[in-house]
Structures are given as C-alpha cells and as structure tokens.
Structure 1
Amino acid sequence: MNPKGTITVVGLGAGDLDQLPYGLYRTLKEAGHLYVRTSEHPVLAQLAGEVAYTAFDDIYERHGSFDRVYAEIAETLLAKAVEEKEVVYAVPGHPLVAERTVQLLLQEGPGRGVQIEVGGGQSFLDPLFARLRIDPIEGFALLDGTALQAGQVHPGLHTIIAQVYDKLVASEVKLTLMEVLPDEYPVTVATAVGVKDMERIDTVPLYELDRLDHFGNLTLVYVPQAKDEAVLYRQFSFLKDIVATLRSPEGCPWDREQTHQSIRKNLIEETYEVLETIDDEDPDAMCEELGDLLMQIMLHSQMAAEEGYFTVDDVVAGLNQKLIRRHPHVFGDKSADDAGEALANWQEIKAQEKAAKGIAPDRQSKLAGIPRDLPALMYAYKLQKKAAQVGFDWDDVADVYKKIEEEYQELRTAPEEERAGELGDLLFAVVNLARFLGLDPEEALALTNRKFTSRFAYIEKKLQEAGRSFDDTSLEEMDKWWEEAKRMGRGEK
C-alpha cells in the first residue's frame, strides 16, 4: 500500500553549521520547503537565504500547555504530508532525543497513511557530556523539564533536564527539584553548549535556578550525582540498602539473629508509640516514631526476602494495587459523593476480593475479619459493630443503661471464682454504651488515663514542693490536691 505522504525528520544538531554532517546539510538544502519546530537555532541562522522554511514558533504563543503545542505541530505536519506528498521537518538536536513532536508523528503517522522517516543529527548529550566531563556509564537520567515530577528524580544518577525553555519552566523545575534536594544543592544551567559565541554555563544553588537570564530552546539543567549523606538519607532505596546490610553477614549480630516472632512485639510497641505522639499533638515526635514503625516493616520484609517469600517492593506494589482497586470513585469510573458511598464501594470490592480467593462471604461468620490480637476493649467494640449490622442490637440506649445496671449488680453479688467473667460482662456492656453514644471506648479510656496521669503528677509536684513523700501524707490531703488539679484541668484535653 502506497503511503499518502512522507515526512522526513532530520536533526539540526546541538551546535552550529560546522558540526552538522554533510548528508544532513544536503537534505536541508535540497528540501523544496523546510518545516522547523523553532527558528531559534544557530544552524538556521547560518543558513538564512539558502533555505526557505516555515517555523512553528507562533503555535507556542497560542497555547497554554506544551502538550497542545506539540499536538498541533504534529497535526499540521501530517496534513501537509498528505497535501504536499513529501515534507522535511527539522528539529533541534537528534529527532529521537527529547522530541515529543517526533514521537507523536511516529504514533499517528501509520494510521493516517503517512510514512515517517527519521534521519540523523547530533543530540545535545554528546557535547554536554564532553563539556561537563560526565561519564554516562555511572548512570544518568534524561528528563523533560515541561513535565518533571519529583518521583522521576533519583539523586544517585547524573540528571539532565531538557526543554527548559524559559523562566517559567525553570521555576517549575526548581520547585520540583526542591522536593528531593536541599535548596542549596548545586545545579548547572547550560545554554547552546559547544556553539561559539553563544555558549553560557552557570552553576548556581538550586534556589537561584530561575534567576538566570539565558533560558531558551537550547537550555539544559544538569543535576550532579548526590554524594552528600543528607540527600541520600531521604531516599527509600538507601533505607533498603541499610536494612539489608544490617541483616548481612557483615552487619549487626543482633539484627541477624532476629526472626518474625522475636520482633513481633516490637511492631505493637512502636505502633502505640506513634499513637502517643498523635495524642500529644507532637509532629516532630510523630515523624521519629513513624520512622521506628517503618523500620519494623522493613525488617520483616527483609527477612521475608531472605526466605524467598516477598520483598518490600512487593509490599509496596500490593498496597498500590489495593488502593487503586478499592477507590474506583477516584481511579475508575464509579462515583462517591460522600464518605458513606466511598465506604460502600470499599466494602463491595472487599467482598469481591474474598470471592476471588475462594472465600464465600455467606459461609463466613458475620464476626469474621477482626484481628484477634487487638486490645480487648477495641475487639469488643468491633464485635458489637459487626453484630449490629445484622440486627443483633439493642433498640434503645435506655436498654443499654439497664443492662449495665444489671451487670453491675451481678458483679457485686458474684462468688469470687465468677468475678472475672462478671467484670468482663460489665465492661462489654459499657462498650455497648460507648457505641450507642457514638464514642470510641478505647479513645475514651485513653483520655481518662491521660487525665489521671496529669492529676497524679500534680500530687507528686505538691509533695516535692512540701518536701514530703507518699508515706507521710494522708489520703485526704492527696484527694485535696487531686480536686485542685481537677479544677485547674492541668494538661487535660
């Protein structure tokens, strides 16, 4: 099948006419009419009067996003190819390096019956590597400044950010890099590398990146490999390496000896320490304790990796998949106008997941799914909520109060060997009351614990001030201070 037209894409290189291969020079000269993405290139300036061309610079001015600019350029070229049969399109650098319009042509051309041929051209990478003395074998990343995301930036690599056309793009690049790197981190802005009388290279602190004055179509930003520990410490990959080292034969004897069971209790303890920082409204402490909790997850994941079961990357992948799968109202085609609808979606998908695993919900106990190692108060609360969902519940809060009175009287008259069971019944009834009142019993008791601790600390303070001890202080005196602390509400929320 004969094509409706042909687009030949050639690269103008990264420098001036002296650096352009003769074959490409001849292609440009023999083109009846040349189309160029931008006229701002030294080769075109040197060929003025020898080659007629149409530039697409005006399209940049009509659109507020680069995606729309590139889409219009590609659409225009495809239409011209059908109309003129043969079109030569020239771009800065190499056609297949940081040229979104060329990628669009390669994607859309075949479906439109237009053949796309890609010629050569020197990319900006070679002169940049030579000028800055970068060895790419050490690892490098080439990123688009117009669509840069923090997750793309890996400080362990040489990073080259292309298409930093102007101060606006430079500002966006700066803000994105600041999510990963310190404000003072050195970056190099290079314009027209290797072009005589045009080359500009400046190394500045990151926070000054957008204050330079030589941004344009030939501008790149180079971010050197990070060797500073302060930068590496922020990388998840660095944490993985540290934990693997601790568990290695050359690592820590204590860490090497641990098993899932031996550090099981640590996971619970670290979780409660995080909860304490939440209750104290202490963000700095929370940050530290969340790190300790994450360490437990990393250790368990490393142990599992050593046993060939899973890695921490599998943990992250599973979490990502679950979050997307259980939020179709965010990542899919479902909708949820409020938290209730969102929760309904979540429950429906959880049921589908169980069915996919061969778990029949209608055969499961209605009380299934509660972690058995939860604190008893929290476990009771969740048991009652599940039972209430199928109608096994009191009709009125007055009945709950009556049940508490009943259990209280039974505890008072119970023989010694039955007191533990009767006390449990009373506590279970109190948990029911909390649920009816819309309160979390665990949180309510935690609040009282904090109040008790604060008031008792006030008594200890008064004893210290008086130079006395508990042994020589009566209960009446302590109760007086307790009431003082109660009135003052010291440290209570």
Structure 2
Amino acid sequence: MEIIHVIGVGPGPLSYLPAEAKRLLASAPHLVADSGVRQDLELERKGRGLTVAEAGRDPGDIVDSLRHLAAEHAEIAFVVPQSDPTRHAVVRHLLAFKVTEVVLHVGPGELELAAAALGRPLETVLVIPGTDLEAGAIPTRFDLLILEPRPGDLGRLSALLGASKRPRRSVTVLGWDKGRPSSRRVGLTPRVEGAGGFDGEAEGAEGASGADGDAAAQEMESVFALYVPAPAPDGHSFDDLVEVMARLRGPEGCLWDRQQTNRSLARYLIEETYEVVDAIERDDKAHLSEELGDLLLQIVFHAEIAASEGAFDISDVIDGIVTKLVRRHPHIFAGTEVTSAEDVERNWEQIKRAEKAGKPEGGAGEIAGPGKAPSALAGVPASLPALLYAEKLQAKAARVGFDWEEYRQVIEKVKEELAEIVEAKETGGDVEHELGDVVFAVVNLARFLGSDSELALRGACTRFINRFRQMEELAAAAGQSFTELSLDGKERLWREAKKRQAFDG
C-alpha cells in the first residue's frame, strides 16, 4: 500500500527537524512542497523529484495529485510550513479520505523554539497570532507569544502596550541567527502607530544600545515570534492573599483567626455580601473595590479552614467553578447552538438538573432516591434571605409551567391575600401565616413584572430614610421639635418632603 508522509516544518530551518523527517527530505522518491517552503526544499533536493503545490489551488485537487504520485512512487512526502501538519487544509482533506496510509511528522513548534531561543522553558504563556494586533487590543496580564509577526508589528506593539494600565518595558524578538534560535530584547518606547517601525533600544549580548527595534529584528536571518513578558505587578496578587491567610491560620499565626470555623464565619460572609450590595446601590466604585476585597477574604478564609481539615483547598474551589462554567456553557465550549438568552437559560437549568440527579438537593424539595426524580424546586438553599428564597422558588416553578398568565391575575392574588389578613385579624386566625402569604404574593408580582423585590424594598427603605430626614430638617427650619409635633403635623411634613423629592427628581 502506498504511503504519504506529511512533514510539518515549523518556523525553523530544516536542520531542526527530527532525524526521520530529514531523511525523507533527502531520500524520499518524490517530494511535494507547499509553496511556503519551496525555497529551502529546492536547495535541499537540488531539483530532484520535487513538485510545488502552488498557493490558491483547491485542496481536493492537491490531494488527488498526492494520491496519484503515491501510487506511482509507493512512498512520497508532502511538506507543509506548519509545525503541526493537521493545521494545513490539504492535510485535513487527505486524512478525511482514510484510503491512503498517511504518516505525520511533527516539526518543532513555536513554543519549543521560543524556549530554545530564550534559553528557558515557557511554563505559562498566551499564544496569539500577529493579526490580533490589528484589533487594537491585547491581553495585558499574561506572558505573550505573538506568532508570525509582520513589518510594523513592533510599532503596533509599542503603541498598544504603552497605553495599557500596566505598561511593559520590553519585547523580545525571536528568530534565527546562523541556523540557531536566537533572541534580541528591545526596550519599549511608546510611539504613534503607523510609522512603520518601533522606537526602542536593542539590548543584545554586545549591549548595542540606541539601535532601532526593527534593526534588531533585521540582524536575524528570519523572525518567527515576538515574546512579551507580563508586566511586574504593581501590588499584591491572589497568591499573596492565599499565603497571608495560610500564615494567619498557621501555628505561629493569629489566635483569633486560628479559632474560627466555617460556622463561626458564616455571619461575616453574609455581612460582607450586603456591604458589597450597598456599595453597588450607591454606585460607589472605590468602596465597591474595598468591599469585594473583604468578600474575597471570606472565601479564601473558608477555603483555608477546609484545607486545614483535609476537606478541600482554594485550588479545588477554583477548579470546581471553572469546570462548572465550561460544562454549563456548551454553546461556547462544546459547539451547542443557541439562538437566544432563553435558550442559554434553559440549557443551564437542564444541565443543573442532570448534575443534581441522585444527589441530596440541599434545599427545597425532597432528596432524590432510587427511582425518584428530583423536584423541580430542588437546589434553592433554604438559608437564603426570605425575599430571594421566595423569588427563586417562584422562578423555578414558572420554568415548569406553574405561573400566572398576566400581571393582573397576580394583583388579584395580592388583594385576595390582603383580605385574608383582615379576616384572620377579625376572627382570631393565624395573622402571621396570612401575612407571609401576602409577602409571597407581592414577591411573585415583582418577579412577574421583571423587578427585583429585594432591590425594590431597599429602594423604598432609602426613600423612607431620605424623606424622614427631610421631615426633621423642615421641622428644625421652622423652629419646631420634630418629636413634639402631633401626628397630623408630622403627616403634613411627610407630604411636603415627598413633594420635594418628586420635584427634585
């Protein structure tokens, strides 16, 4: 059976290919070369048995030519510029036929060559194509490896990186010098994009200061990537927080922190959450940043306590939420098609139900057992604040069709529940029971109208505070003691304060 060897050259010279790939380049009965590697192969083969697959040809036609040549010579090689041959369109077509035997030879990749050029391994790096620089934005918090840079990319990098909140000090040009991976570090000086170059100083082994950045690149035989290290952080990192918390809980740590348990900290978690909400409602970004930090501390604190008990640590927490997000967004990570936000929400709920099938539900509904389907209300924590608890239960019921048809029906239900309070009061019935039904119905009305009952009530509280303070100020301005005013006098001030608030907007 005929064999087609596919050799991925990668960005380096042919001398960096594996031994078997180099043997095939030299001695295979016939070579077919992508036009992107034509020049090097012409030197290698000296015209012997070499066909060039010109750019623009239909991949199917090239595959037919490869199969005919393989049938004629029994064994041929097809050479492509990518280090991973499967990235080439013709190779993908060839593999889809599953008739001819195809042997893939993977060349050294950009990461491997970049590590060789830098003289150290790249443990974490974000790889992006040079074309992304045209979009006008690049990630700012990671080591970057920019592949296949083009003329002017150094200038674009200078403008983009210099304008970021955390400007970077240098970029390293990676290429080939005398047949070996090499690097030239260039200091960044932000300059207006479009001048076709880059302002900077080369910092090579000879310390050639003052050289233009493009000149540093031109010193090499070819350039295959640009490496941009992440900026040094101006402050502390998440790892610093984890380390500080571990020390506070350690043998020589803080006595108070060491005594805490997940249960003893629960109240602080709730308090910090409400302080975050308060900063959001006041649109106070400075305090929001601070309060989010306090809330993050609680999460790290709880995880550190669990780690000391051998239950889990913060890495497990992060791994769990990332895994969950990926699993519950199949339209992003698994190719599932959606056409609306409602489709996304339905998928989310279906995946959640599948995850919880057969597990203790930890909230509303019964625990699922063998042969027993979980409740549609499952998964709502009973420890939620009452308004939010009610709203989530109602929303889950609505998702399975248990809901009103239009808002007037909900208003009538509120009126019905109010009437039952009056009846309970007058007949000695359970007023608290009926009052709960009224609040539940009002929360349902808010949900049906698309409002958040918690935010609505907090807004009412804020308006009450503002009006009450204005009542006190009006009384003081009139030389009156607010506490000594009659109820009618206070009512007049209330109406006046309400009018002024409405007027003020």
**1:163 lines up with 2:148 in the alignment:** yes
How far the C-alpha of 1:487 sits from its partner, in A, is: 1.7
Counterpart for residue 429 of structure 1: 438
Change (3 A) 1:401 1:89: closer
Whole-Å Cα distance in 2 between the matches of residues 77 and 146 of structure 1? 31
Q: Corresponding residue for 1:374?
A: 384
Question: Any conservation in 2 of the 1:109–1:115 contact (CA below 8 Å)?
Answer: no
Counterparts of 1:402 and 1:10 in 2: how far apart (Å)?
76
Counterpart position of 2:55:
58
Provide the rounded CA distance (Å) in 2 between the counterparts of 1:390 and 1:34.
66
Matches of 1:114 and 1:425, distance apart in 2: 78
Instruction: Report the equivalent of 2:297.
Output: 295
The residue that corresponds to 1:304 in the other structure is 306
**What are the Cα deviations for residues 400-445 of structure 1, in whole angstroms up to 9, with x where unaligned?**
424313414644786xxx9xx5255335324324524635543332
Q: Distance in 1 between matches of 2:292 and 2:101?
A: 56
1:223 is matched with 228
Report the Cα distance in structure 2 between the residues aligned to 1:126 and 1:334, rounded to whole angstroms. 34
Alignment CA distance shift 1:486-1:82 (3 Å): farther
Change in CA separation of 1:165 and 1:308 when aligned onto 2, cut-off 3 Å: farther
**What 5-or-longer segments of structure 2 have no aligned partner?**
198-213, 360-366
Structure 1: distance between partners of 2:47 and 2:403: 90
Match of 2:454 in 1: 442
Corresponding letter in the other structure for 1:193: W
Distance 1:16 1:326 in 2: 45
Q: Give the counterpart of 1:407 among 421, 432, 453.
A: 421
Same amino acid, percent of matched pairs: 29
Offset of residue 298 of structure 1: 2.4
2:115 paired with 1:145: no
Give the Å deviation of 1:119: 9.2
**Preserved contact between residue 140 and residue 159 of structure 1 (Cα < 8 Å):** no
Shift of 1:446: 1.5
Per chain length, whose mean CA-contact separation is higher, i.e. which structure has more relative contact order (CA < 8 Å, sep 6+)?
1
Spell out, residue by residue over 1:263-289, the C-alpha distance to the aligned partner (whole angstroms, 9 max, x if none). Answer: 111111122222223333445544443
Are the aligned partners of 2:7 and 2:85 in contact in 1 as well (CA < 8 Å)?
Answer: no
- Pick from 103, 110, 130 the counterpart of residue 116 of structure 1: 103
Report the Cα distance in structure 1 between the residues aligned to 2:112 and 2:416, rounded to whole angstroms: 84
Q: Does structure 1 retain, via aligned residues, the 8 Å contact 2:390–2:443?
A: no
Counterpart CA distance in 1 for 2:128 and 2:372 is 52
Matched-pair contact (CA < 8 Å) for 2:357–2:373:
no
Could you tell me how far 1:178 is from its partner in structure 2? 10
- Asked if the contact 1:277/1:283 (under 8 Å) is kept, the reply is yes
1:96-140: CA deviation from partner (whole Å, max 9, x where unpaired): 6899459968x94995443537498x88889866765x433x846
C-alpha separation in 2, matches of 1:48 and 1:359: 70
Determine if contact 1:274/1:289 at 8 Å carries over to the other structure: yes
Q: What aligned pairs does 1:242-391 form with structure 2 within 5 A after superposition?
A: 242-249=244-251, 252-283=254-285, 285-323=287-325, 325-326=327-328, 343-357=345-359, 359-360=368-369, 369-379=379-389
Conserved? CA contact 2:117–2:174, under 8 Å:
no
User: In 1, Cα distance between the equivalents of 2:377 and 2:112?
Assistant: 66
What is the rounded CA distance, in whole Å, between the counterparts of 1:218 and 1:272 in structure 2? 54
C-alpha distance 356-370 of structure 1, shift in aligned 2 (>3 A): closer
Pair 1:278–1:24, CA change in 2 (3 A): closer
For 1:203, the equivalent position in structure 2 comes to 186
The C-alpha deviation readout for 1:27-59, integer Å capped at 9, x for no partner, is 756566654445579856977967785555725
Q: Give the Cα separation in 1 of the matches to 2:357 and 2:146.
A: 47
Q: Is the 8 A contact 2:168 2:188 kept in 1?
A: yes
Determine if contact 1:38/1:56 at 8 Å carries over to the other structure.
yes
Measured after TM superposition, the shift of residue 486 of structure 1 is 1.4
Task: Specify the code of the residue in structure 2 equivalent to 1:4.
Answer: E
Partner SS, residue 421 of structure 2 = helix
TM-score of the superposition, structure 1-length normalised?
0.66
Q: CA RMSD of the aligned region, Å?
A: 5.8
Gaps of 5+ in 1: 64-68
Name the CA distance, whole Å, in 2 between partners of 1:225 and 1:265.
39
Which residue identity does 1:372 align to in structure 2? A
Deviates more, 1:334-343 or 1:317-326: 334-343
- Scaled by the length of structure 2, the TM-score of the pair is 0.65
